[in-house]
Every structure is written in C-alpha cells, then in structure tokens.
Amino acid sequence: MSSWDTLIVDALVFDGSGAAPRRVDVALSEGQVARVGPQLDRSRASEVVSGENQWLTPGLLDIHTHFDLEVELAPGLGEAVRHGTTTVVMSNCSLGLAFGNQRKQAGPYLQDPIVDCFARVENMPKHVLRKAANLATWRDSGEYLRHLDGLALGPNVVPMIPHSMLRVEVMGLDAAVTRDPTPEELDEMVRLLEKGLAEGYVGFSTDALPFHYLANDPHRQKKIPSQHLSQAELRRLTDALRRHDRVWQATPPKDDPLLVLRSFLLTSGRLFGQPLRLTAVAALDVVTNRSLAALGLVMTRLFNSPLLQGRFRLQALAAPFEVWSEGPLTPLAEEIPELRELNEPDLEDVESRRRLLRDPDYRERFVRMWTRGRKGFSWARILRWLRRENVALTRELRDMKVAKAPVAEWVGETLHDVYERLRAHQMDAASPRSPGEAEAFADAPDLRSGPYVGNDALFLLYLLERFDTALVWSSITANDRPEKVKALLTHPQILPGFNDSGAHLTNMAFYDTNLRGLRMVMEDGFEAVSRHISRLTSEPADFFRLASVGRIAEGYRGDLVLIDPEALRHYDGRAHVREIHRDVFDHTQLVNRSDGVVTGVWIGGHRAWTGEDFTEELGETKMGDCLTTEGIRP
C-alpha cells in the first residue's frame, strides 16, 4: 500500500464545486490530492493534521495582482499566502515582465519601461522597481515562463502578456506613447501575442483608465503605452485571443461610456462568431458616482445575454476601497490635472512640489478645482448633488482621515476636525491642544479675511506645503455601503477580484479580501458559503482555463486551506491593517493580519503557513508552479 505525505482529518470539506460540504478526510501525496473519503487510514500517512471544527477548502485564487516584481525579490509571496491565497494571476493592467526589463539608451535618457510604468500606475518607489527590474535579464516571453518555473515559488503564478510592454517591445517607448503602430508593427505585435498564447499564456491585459501616467523624463505628462490603443489595434489583438480562447483583462475608459460599450462588445459570440473571455475592473460602488455600479450590472447582463452571447465578468472588491495618501501623493490624484501636477516629480523631490504649491497661479487653479460643484449654482453642483461626478476623490476634508502626522493629536481625526479647530482658534474660541498644534496653527493662513474666507482649500494647500509626505491620510472613495458591496460580490456574473495585491506598497491593503468576502456570506448559511468558495476557486480557475487548481479532488494540485470559521466570523479586516518594514524592499508596506483565521496552507503538498507563522520551506523550496493554459508546460 502506498503512503501519503499528509492526511487532514475531521474537517468540514468544501471541495470547490459549490456542492454541500462533507465531513471527509483528504490525503496528499507527491504534491497532489491522492484520496478523498471518510475515515481514511491514518497509519498510511507520514503526518496527520486535525481539521476538527475547521473548514478545508481548495487554495484560493487572487485574479488581479501585480506580484510580477515582488516574485523576483521574494518568491514566497508570504503576504498573500497567510490569507489562504495559493494562486495569483499577474501582469494585469497592461504591465508585466514578459519581455524582460526592456531598458534602452535613447539620447540623454535611459528608457526604463518597468520603472516608468509601474512607479505611478501602481504607486511604487523607483528604487524598489529598479531592484526588481535589474533581475529581469531575459528578452523573450517563453524564457520568462521558464524563469518563473525555476523560482522557489510560494503560490502558483499565472502571467499574462501585458499590452504596454508588448507595444514597447515592438515600437520602442518613445513611439509607443506618441503614435499608432505601422501595419508592420501591428503584425509583429500580433505575432508576439500569438507566440505567447502558443507558449501557454492564459491571456492578455490592456489598460484604459484615464489617469495612468509615466514617471520618467521626458514622458512624465504622457499616459502609459496601452492608453494609446486604437480600436483597430484592439480588434487585431483580441481576434488572436478569440482564436485561442484566452482571456482579455481590461480596465475601461471610464469617462467615455460609448467607447466602453464599443470595446466590451468584443466579448459577443453573436457578433464575432465565438465569445471572447473578458474580465474588467471593476464593479465598485463609487461614492461620488452611484450610477457606475448600476451601469456595470446593466452591461454585464447585456453582454452575457442570449442576444449577445458573451463571456463577460466584472471584478468586485470585498472591502471598502480605502486609499492611504502620503500628503499630496495619492493614486486618486492622477485623474485631476491640478493634483496630477503634484504627482509628476519623484517621491524624493519635495522642493519641486513645494515650489508648485507656492505658485500663485497654481494656488488659484487648485482652489477653483477644490471648490468646483461645492458652492453656488452650476451644472457641476447639480452633478455633485446627484452623485454623478466623474472623479473619485470626494474633495471633502471630512472624508480625509489622518493616519500619521507630525502633530500627534491629529491621528485618528479627519482633516475637517483639524480645520474647524483652527477656525475656532483664529476666532479666539478655542486654544491649541499641544505645542505642536500651536506651532502648526501659528503659520496657518488666516481664514477670517481675504478673498477665500473660511476656504478649506487654502488650509489643505498649507498642510501639503508644510508637511508633504509626513502627513498621511486615508479616504474611502468606493464600497462604503456594505449591502451594495455584498450584492456586487455575490452577483453570479461578477468575479471576486480587483485586490491589486502586490501593488501600491503604502496606499492600499487588500490582501485579505477573499476572507472578507467569505465573512460577508457566512450569515447566509452553508449553501452561500459553499457557493462563494467555488467563486474563489473553481470558477476563476475555469474562466482562466487553469486545469489543475480550484478543487479538492483526486489528481488536483495539493493546494489546500484550513479556516477557523469562528475566528472568521469575528474578523474585521479594516481593523487589521498594519504598516511593516520589508527588508527585501528596503521600504514600508501596508499589509493585513488575519492570524488565527487561516490555520493552515498547503501549496503543492508543502505546508506553507501553520496558522501562526510561515514554514521554513516557504520561499526556499519550490511549492507553486508557473501555471499556463490547461497544462501547457513552460
């Protein structure tokens, strides 16, 4: 009789199919699920693990990540593993490493596309990006797959062909952001995409969000290459995906509904002969525009209807969309020209930002932007009242909560609280609470006189100039209504996703949102839990055509997660955001801590997480694989 490496007993097993859970044992051998059944022979196992009073699920999938760079520096990807994630889809939003670092000297400038694209789109420090890009010495998409498969991977990684990098590979960075491709260049892009699909890439990613800009000279005011995509180019590239039945991951041109409709109609099997697998970000309940989520649901129903016969899936985030901003530096700034100017200088270039903030012309433009639609009577005021604005930032100090500040008393307050206290102080109605606050108030603008009496824009300008990135504040710009989040998350034609794991080191913390989603559906009983687990496992695995993950069944990968349901029931993800220092990045990072909820993680049969800590194997021993379409090997 053959032996098993690990036997997990007495757990309530959700096998990923959506069926009711069963009280069965699961045996792992040689990295796979070897047996599933009641009361398996414990004597045949080298290790027996008790799952009593716990749930056993397939390893969870995170389908929208930017781990492409972190996996080069820390292949164990522990911040994902600790929350039960065992498979990550990378190269989203047109960014990735399929063609290496693509560095090239162009006149006085070193073109560094990885740093140029990731720095502002994913809000990552340039020195961290360079550290990873230095390791990307390959030049070919097939070589990249072989490279990934040779790393000591924690989770399985699933790369896509990224459109911005494809454009750079064929056209060069300068041309990729200044003109359309020639017919010959477009043919070459199609050829390279077809080559990648033949090698097993699960799909292709583009980006059309109107606030993704480059970060290096001479292109700081240019959008990333994928933003320059024409409909003709898109049609040629998605035709290749359709022929191979692969996934197109897209972010929409959100300010142009007709272009969104025209682009996403490419999913239609009725119009184009075969459905195109299309997943797009994101189904968010945006605070400033409540119509967007409803519009997304209408599109979803329309594209997947018998009339159009599409395979369209929006992605939903199982958390409030909370963004931390370092003074004037925030992902939310890029869609507002007056704020985008503050994001153009490098992180370390404090003086350039302060020079801009002192400029009278800029200050006047800033005040107009900040007060637009908030006062008087205008069309902008009507749109704001109707919650139909086209920018995500609410421009309300009461929505900006202080996370860190040189004045300790401000932490936990909103900027509106501080503003009102300053006004009271200037009217001799209140005294500062500390020497630090007194010093800050002494230099503040006088809000009692001048052309902008009581204007909070002047107060904000003062804070940004005085404190720069030492003032850290957070804001919830979407998903502030739990009932709406749950409705989007559980919609049968929407996938849980858009976690952005591995990006925005100090701006977001969504590693745990698969657990947050499970927490939301627990109150609806085992049937809802089972259905949601399938939406985190087998459903995305099927959508991306990953043959070996997403289920607990004989022959599938030994990727398993033990969850304590009582700990999950009492888990509050927002309360467990932490700022840590990552030595491998030489930088801080916002992360989540769900310790006690996930009590065990196995990847490829190896135990990666014990419930209290990582095993010594994680990051040292190869656990995960580079997964490609239905088992095509790198």
- Which residue is listed with tokens 């108030």? 441
Return the pLDDT at 161: 98
**CA pair distance 191, 283, nearest whole angstrom:** 33
What number of CA atoms fall less than 13 Å from residue 166's CA on the CB side?
33
Q: Does the pLDDT of residue 634 top 70, yes or no?
A: no
Q: What's the mean pLDDT in 48-60? A: 98
| Residue 463 vs residue 124, higher pLDDT | 463
pLDDT at 452 over 70: no
Encode pLDDT of 128-164 as tens digits: 999 999 999 999 999 999 999 999 999 999 999 999 9
3-state percent breakdown (helix, strand, coil) of the chain, nearest 5: 40, 20, 40
| pLDDT > 70: percent of the chain | 99
Largest separation between any pair of C-alpha atoms in the chain: 88
pLDDT band for position 233 (cuts 50, 70, 90): very high
The whole-number pLDDT of residue 140 equals 96
Q: Are 204 and 246 in contact (CB under 8 A)?
A: yes
- CB-CB contact of 634 with 625 (8 Å): no
CB 558 within 8 A of CB 602: yes
Give the integer Cα–Cα distance in Å for 173 and 532.
42
Burial class, 51, CB count within 10 angstroms (exposed 0-12 / middle 13-18 / buried 19+): buried
Q: How confident is the model at residue 451 (pLDDT cuts 50, 70, 90)?
A: low
Q: Is the pLDDT of residue 376 over 90?
A: no
The mean pLDDT value for 33-53 works out to: 97
**pLDDT at res. 332:** 85
Q: Is the pLDDT of residue 1 over 80?
A: no
Residue 338's pLDDT is: 96
**Do 354 and 465 contact (CB within 8 A), yes or no?**
yes
- What pLDDT digit, counting tens, does each position of 541-556 carry? 999 999 999 999 999 9
Over residues 230-246, the mean pLDDT reads: 97
**What b-and-e string marks burial along 246-268, b requiring 16 or more CB atoms within 10 Å of the CB?**
bbbbbbbbbeeeeebeebbbbbb
pTM score? 0.96
Tokens of 322: 């909370």
Tens digit of each residue's pLDDT (9 = 90 or more) over 590-618: 999 999 999 999 999 999 999 999 999 99
